[in-house]
């Protein structure tokens, strides 16, 4: 049995950031991951440090459009029909959280936790030698038609009430910022203060290497089970070996629910599957991530490739790829860039999603021997540094960087 002060279960961007934070506080940390840490969802995302993502996924507008969104093949959201029954409890909670009062409350909480996300990432990137992977050209939402632009304007005005800095662009202003995007009928919203990563995978490797350099052992095993004992939290691994720790941080992304249950908490975590296709090219066509607002996907310039990334597919963690979703991304990208051809590769990842779009960053109900750090949905990359600060405060008793009760397990 290996003994440690803090065990971190799951080494995506959340677990890696938590591990580094605790190592920096002089604590002994062990990281457990069944895969290469940082190689899953935290690798394949759109790379945006999305301070502008202040609105929850569930909103009154989404309820109105849900039937057409879920059952139209060309829609940005899909549902795996075979999974509808198992998704039902999550969907019911999601519908409740989409009602006007709840949605506004959730937006206010999300806006608070997003504040300074870019500054926090600049600080973290400089600690791990990753500053050159952070770009500060901002991000853009593109509204192809006049009617989509009008709906977008309403959405952006709502975000502005939550403190967001955004500029609306007409088609020629958009074309000046992004010369490879032809004149469209609608317009765009520009978020000038936001950053993005030109290679999230490389940033994950830097995070991992820094943790290792600071003395963090990486246990490449699948955790099977966690249990409270008189001497601490015991994690049983695939090969039946165990790790005993004073604190266990559950940061297994979309796979965290079962461990929370074993620690005594029933958390409504489910999965929004997301995809990317990549086109290898020397000059990736865009100067910053551009999101097709009605298509529900980003086109993110990354080193040596254009990554077309997004869409939501409700329906569990099976590795099976839905070609409808991939085609949605390919068709969407070729509407902007007709000569793209076929993608060089395709990828599927799992957003760990809570119906209220807020992560769970919290001590377990039974105490801070188990700490939850999962459920970051669409903004896990953005929120990793602040999550690490909050986890540190829960473990050490330090003052948290923001009020944290809104992200607590007590809300369920
Ligand atoms: C298509 C797409 C686009 C996105 N774009 C953005 C974006 O632009 N900006 C943004 O902020 N966010 C974005 N996100 C969301 C973001 O990527 C996620 O919220 C974030 O990566 C979640 O990180 P995590 O560490 O919680 O989970 P993960 O990265 O999934 O890491 C969890 C880790 O736990 C390990 N694990 C799981 N179970 C076990 C077990 N039993 N034993 C041992 N190890 C285990 C896994 O192997 C994995 O390494 C996007 C997501 C998707 C899918």
The CATH number that applies at residue 73 is 3.30.9.10
Q: Note the pLDDT of residue 334.
A: 96
% of residues, the chain, pLDDT over 70: 100
Q: How far is the CA of 306 from the centre of ligand 1 (A)?
A: 20
- Residue 271 near residue 308 (C-beta atoms within 8 A): no
Q: Give the residue, by CA position, lying nearest to ligand 1 atom 50.
A: 45
Is the model's pLDDT at 392 over the cut of 90?
A: yes
- Residue 251 near residue 31 (C-beta atoms within 8 A): no
* Count of alpha carbons within 13 angstroms of residue 15, beta-carbon side: 34
* Same domain (yes/no): 250, 227: yes
Is the model's pLDDT at 20 over the cut of 90?
A: yes
Q: Note the pLDDT of residue 284.
A: 93
* Same domain (yes/no): 342, 377: no
In a domain, 116, yes or no: no
User: In the sheet that 195-197 helps form, which strands lie side by side, from edge to edge?
Assistant: 48-49, 195-197, 134-135
> Could you report the per-residue pLDDT of 303-348, keeping only the tens digit for each?
999 999 999 999 889 999 999 999 999 999 999 999 999 999 999 9
Ligand 1 pocket at CB < 6 A: 10-15, 32-35, 37, 40-42, 45-48, 50, 222-223, 251-255, 274, 276, 309-310, 349, 351-352, 374, 376-382
In a domain, 231, yes or no: yes
Both tokens assigned to 319: 């590795």
How sure is the predictor about 48, in pLDDT bands with cuts at 50, 70 and 90? Answer: very high
Q: How far is the CA of 182 from the centre of ligand 1 (A)?
A: 34
DSSP code of residue 239? T
Residue ending a domain, choose from 325, 353, 381: 353
Q: Give the residue, by CA position, lying nearest to ligand 1 atom 9.
A: 48
* Same domain (yes/no): 279, 321: yes
> Could you report the per-residue pLDDT of 172-227, keeping only the tens digit for each?
999 999 999 988 899 999 999 999 999 999 999 999 999 999 999 999 999 999 99
In a domain, 111, yes or no: no
* Same domain (yes/no): 95, 222: no
* Same domain (yes/no): 175, 220: no
> Could you report the per-residue pLDDT of 240-288, keeping only the tens digit for each?
999 999 999 999 999 999 999 999 999 999 999 999 999 999 999 999 9
Whole domain around residue 365: which residue ranges? 2-43+202-266+357-411
> Could you report the per-residue pLDDT of 115-132, keeping only the tens digit for each?
999 999 999 999 999 999
Strands of 44-186 (E only): list them. 48-49, 77-79, 134-135, 139-143, 167-169
Q: How far is the CA of 211 from the centre of ligand 1 (A)?
A: 18
Q: For the chain, how big is the Rg over CA atoms in Å?
A: 21
Is the model's pLDDT at 363 over the cut of 80?
A: yes
Q: Note the pLDDT of residue 169.
A: 97
Q: Give the residue, by CA position, lying nearest to ligand 1 atom 53.
A: 274
Q: How far is the CA of 217 from the centre of ligand 1 (A)?
A: 21
- In ligand 1, which atom is closest to the CA atom of 375? 26
* Cα–Cα dist 97/354, whole Å: 10
In a domain, 114, yes or no: no
Q: Note the pLDDT of residue 72.
A: 77
Q: Nearest to residue 301, comparing CAs of 188, 175, 199, 403? A: 199
Q: Report the mean per-residue pLDDT for the chain.
A: 96
Is the model's pLDDT at 71 over the cut of 80?
A: no
How sure is the predictor about 68, in pLDDT bands with cuts at 50, 70 and 90? Answer: confident
Residue ending a domain, choose from 332, 353, 374: 353
* Cα–Cα dist 301/337, whole Å: 13
In a domain, 110, yes or no: no
In a domain, 291, yes or no: yes
* Same domain (yes/no): 95, 186: yes
* Same domain (yes/no): 171, 207: no
- Residue 392 near residue 400 (C-beta atoms within 8 A): no
Q: Looking at the 3D structure of the chain, how many domains does it have? A: 2
Strands of 258-344 (E only): list them. 270-280, 290-292, 297-302, 305-314
What is the CATH classification number for the domain harbouring 225?
3.50.50.60
* Top-confidence residue, 228 or 77: 228
* Cα–Cα dist 65/201, whole Å: 34
Q: How far is the CA of 5 from the centre of ligand 1 (A)?
A: 24
pTM given for the model: 0.97
* Cα–Cα dist 283/181, whole Å: 14
* Cα–Cα dist 234/323, whole Å: 41
* Top-confidence residue, 111 or 76: 111
* Same domain (yes/no): 304, 215: no
DSSP code of residue 406? G
* Same domain (yes/no): 183, 221: no
* Cα–Cα dist 37/208, whole Å: 7
Q: Note the pLDDT of residue 51.
A: 96
Q: Note the pLDDT of residue 80.
A: 85
How sure is the predictor about 84, in pLDDT bands with cuts at 50, 70 and 90? Answer: confident
User: What's the rounded mean pLDDT across residues 393-406?
Assistant: 97
* Same domain (yes/no): 376, 349: no
Question: Which H or E run includes 367?
Answer: strand 367-374
Q: How far is the CA of 114 from the centre of ligand 1 (A)?
A: 18
In a domain, 105, yes or no: no
In a domain, 122, yes or no: no
* Same domain (yes/no): 82, 157: yes
User: What's the rounded mean pLDDT across residues 224-236?
Assistant: 97
* Same domain (yes/no): 157, 28: no
């Amino acid at each position: 049995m290996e003994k440690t002060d803090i065990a971190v279960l799951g080494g995506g961007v959340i677990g890696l950031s938590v591990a580094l934070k605790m190592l920096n506080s002089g604590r002994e940390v062990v990281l457990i991951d069944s895969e290469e840490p940082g190689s899953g969802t935290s690798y394949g995302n759109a790379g945006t440090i999305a301070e502008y993502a202040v609105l929850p996924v569930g909103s009154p507008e989404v309820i109105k459009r849900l039937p057409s969104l879920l059952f139209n093949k060309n829609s940005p959201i899909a549902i795996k029909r075979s999974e509808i029954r198992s998704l039902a409890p999550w969907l019911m909670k999601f519908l409740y959280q989409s009602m006007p009062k709840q949605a506004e409350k959730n937006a206010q909480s999300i806006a608070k936790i997003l504040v300074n996300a870019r500054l926090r990432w600049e600080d973290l990137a400089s600690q791990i030698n990753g500053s050159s992977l952070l770009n500060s050209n901002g991000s853009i939402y593109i509204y192809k038609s006049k009617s989509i632009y009008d709906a977008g304007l309403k959405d952006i005005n709502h975000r502005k009430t939550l403190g967001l800095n955004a500029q609306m662009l007409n088609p020629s202003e958009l074309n000046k910022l992004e010369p490879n995007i032809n004149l469209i009928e609608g317009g765009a919203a520009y978020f000038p203060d936001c950053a993005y990563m030109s290679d999230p995978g490389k940033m994950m490797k830097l995070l991992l290497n820094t943790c290792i350099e600071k003395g963090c052992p990486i246990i490449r095993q699948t955790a099977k089970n966690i249990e409270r004992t008189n001497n601490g939290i015991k994690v049983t691994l695939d090969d039946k070996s165990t790790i005993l720790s004073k604190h266990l941080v559950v940061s297994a992304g979309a796979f965290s629910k079962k461990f929370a249950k074993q620690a005594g908490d029933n958390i409504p975590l489910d999965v929004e599957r997301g995809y990317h296709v990549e086109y290898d090219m020397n000059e990736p066509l865009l100067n910053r991530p551009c999101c097709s607002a009605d298509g529900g996907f980003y086109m993110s310039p990354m080193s040596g490739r254009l990554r077309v990334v997004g869409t939501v597919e409700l329906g569990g963690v099976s590795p099976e790829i839905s070609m409808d979703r991939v085609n949605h991304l390919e068709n969407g990208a070729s509407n902007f860039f007709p000569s793209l051809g076929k993608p060089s590769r395709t990828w599927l990842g799992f957003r760990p999603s809570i119906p209220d779009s807020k992560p769970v960053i919290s001590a377990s109900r039974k105490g801070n021997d188990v700490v939850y750090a999962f459920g970051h949905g669409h903004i896990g990359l953005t929120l990793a540094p602040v999550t690490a600060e909050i986890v540190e405060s829960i473990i050490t008793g330090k003052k948290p960087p923001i009020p944290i009760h809104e992200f607590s397990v007590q809300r369920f």
